[in-house]
Structure 1
Amino acid sequence: MSSAPVTRSRLRILAVEFIRFGLVGGLGFIVDVGVFNLLRTTIMDPAHMHEGPVVAKLISTTLAILVNWLGNRYWTFKERRRADMLRESIEFFAVSIVGMGIGLVCLWFSHYVLHFTSLWADNISGNVIGLVLGAIFRFVLYRVWVFGEHRVRVPDARIEAAGKTTSIS
């Protein structure tokens, strides 16, 4: 019987993390889609630059990864963030780059293999299909590997402060 509350508690934590991940991802999505479309319709229009859609997606996704790292580190997985921020950020960006690759492959395949070259098709392949597949991949790896429970976490400032107060008395 004692395992039931633990299971509910873990499910609640997972649900909260998933919702926060979705909200952070939503902000990243706005950055990604906004920058992609701005670049794709201006200086990286395929009429001016053959590889423009892929380069625009590379730039927009890189900016979104930065936004997502900050949001996930300081909000989604704040209780799980690690003491070794450099290693955490390297692992986060490695997972994100693979996730970005998933989106880029979807865009590349649609644009250059299937020849669906409209702005609409580029958005569906890169910003819908690619982002959904990449988001599933990223959530699992962020939760299990980058911010996994087996990692050494940043000490909670309240616990540290309580410890200092106790040791002084």
Structure 2
Amino acid sequence: MMSRTRMRRLAGLGARFLIVGGLSTLIEVGVFNLLYLAFGWDVVWAKVAASLVALVNAYFGNRDWTFRDRGRHTRSLEAMLFLGVNAVCTGLGALLVAAGVWMAENWLVMSPGPILVNVINLASIVVVVLVRFLLYHLIVFRGERDAAPVTPGPASAA
């Protein structure tokens, strides 16, 4: 069983993670609508560009705030791990949505409408957020930061 201190620390970490994710989602939606509606970009390219902008915010927000007390890989390894985790999580989300739509079509014997598709999408987001948090916590931003090395002071005269 986890101690109260550890649970409190993990809850704080989770709250910061959700705040960064919420802000990244708002950025993605805003940039998407700006590119798609204001500038007339193709919907797919607007989605890709908006996702990349939000991903930059998520990386720095999680690195410098959520997991600020964690150990560090080299910057390039950390960025590669971050991108890899996000690629896996994006694929997982797409797989969950496809599976949910398939189940609705085959078990309910009907084509799911927009409301059911959005419910499936929201369920996939919940699962992916939990997986992403665990992967960030265990792989990307893992370990406690090393304590600063202690340098000996001047030797006292004996």
What is the TM-score with the length of structure 2 in the denominator? 0.70
- Whether 1:40 and 2:36 are equivalent positions in the alignment is yes
CA distance 1:100–1:31, shift in 2 (3 Å):
farther
Instruction: Decide which structure has the larger Cα Rg and report it.
Output: 2
CA distance 1:131–1:57, shift in 2 (3 Å):
farther
In the alignment, the residues of structure 2 paired with residue 96 and residue 129 of structure 1 have an alpha-carbon distance, to the nearest angstrom, of 18
Which residue number in structure 2 is paired with residue 78 of structure 1?
68
In the alignment, the residues of structure 1 paired with residue 51 and residue 26 of structure 2 have an alpha-carbon distance, to the nearest angstrom, of 10
Q: Which amino acid aligns with 2:86?
A: S
Q: Comparing both chains, which one has the higher relative contact order based on Cα–Cα distances under 8 Å and sequence gaps of 6 or more?
A: 2
Which residue number in structure 1 is paired with residue 53 of structure 2?
63
Q: Give the fraction of aligned pairs with identical amino acids, expressed as a percent.
A: 31
- 1:144 Cα offset (Å): 1.4
Q: Alignment partner for residue 138 of structure 2, among 121, 141, 144?
A: 144
RMSD, aligned CA = 3.4
CA distance 1:130–1:63, shift in 2 (3 Å):
farther
Q: Which amino acid aligns with 2:139?
A: W
In the alignment, the residues of structure 1 paired with residue 7 and residue 51 of structure 2 have an alpha-carbon distance, to the nearest angstrom, of 30
CA distance 1:38–1:129, shift in 2 (3 Å):
farther
Structure 1 runs (4+) deviating above 6 angstroms are 114-117
- Whether 1:10 and 2:11 are equivalent positions in the alignment is no
In the alignment, the residues of structure 2 paired with residue 92 and residue 75 of structure 1 have an alpha-carbon distance, to the nearest angstrom, of 15
Which residue number in structure 1 is paired with residue 79 of structure 2?
89
What is the TM-score with the length of structure 1 in the denominator? 0.66
Number of residue-to-residue matches in the alignment: 144
- The answer to whether the 8 Å contact 1:103/1:131 transfers is yes
- 1:128 Cα offset (Å): 5.0
Which residue number in structure 2 is paired with residue 31 of structure 1?
27
Question: Where in structure 1 are there 5+ consecutive unaligned residues?
Answer: none
Question: Where in structure 2 are there 5+ consecutive unaligned residues?
Answer: 102-110
Q: Alignment partner for residue 99 of structure 1, among 89, 92, 110?
A: 89
Greater shift in the superposed pair: 133-142 or 8-17: 133-142
CA distance 1:37–1:137, shift in 2 (3 Å):
farther
Q: Which amino acid aligns with 1:95?
A: V
- The answer to whether the 8 Å contact 2:28/2:54 transfers is yes
CA distance 1:56–1:134, shift in 2 (3 Å):
farther
CA distance 1:148–1:92, shift in 2 (3 Å):
same
